[in-house]
A and B are shown apart, each in its own frame.
Chain A
Amino acid sequence: GQNIDQPTEMTATEGAIVQINCTYQTSGFNGLFWYQQHAGEAPTFLSYNVLDGLEEKGRFSSFLSRSKGYSYLLLKELQMKDSASYLCAGLNSGYSTLTFGKGTMLLVSP
Chain B
Amino acid sequence: NAGVMQNPRHLVRRRGQEARLRCSPMKGHSHVYWYRQLPEEGLKFMVYLQKENIIDESGMPKERFSAEFPKEGPSILRIQQVVRGDSAAYFCASSPLAGNEQFFGPGTRLTVL
Where the two chains meet, the residues of A that have a C-beta atom closer than 8 Å to any C-beta of B are 4, 30-31, 33, 35, 41-45, 48, 87, 89, 91, 95-103
Contacts and interface: CB of A to CB of B under 8 A. Distances in A.
Nearest to A4: B42
Contact of B99 (A35, A44, A91): A91
Contacts of A31: 99
Given A97-B33, A99-B45, A43 B91 contact: yes
Contacts of B91: 42-43
A76 B61 CA distance: 41
Interface stretch (B14-22, B66-74, B77-85, B101-109): B101-109
Interface of B: 4, 33, 35, 41-45, 48, 55-56, 59, 91, 98-99, 101-107
Contacts of A41: 106
A95 B106 contact: no
Contacts of A4: 42
B101 A95 contact: no
A100 B43 contact: yes
Nearest to A30: B99
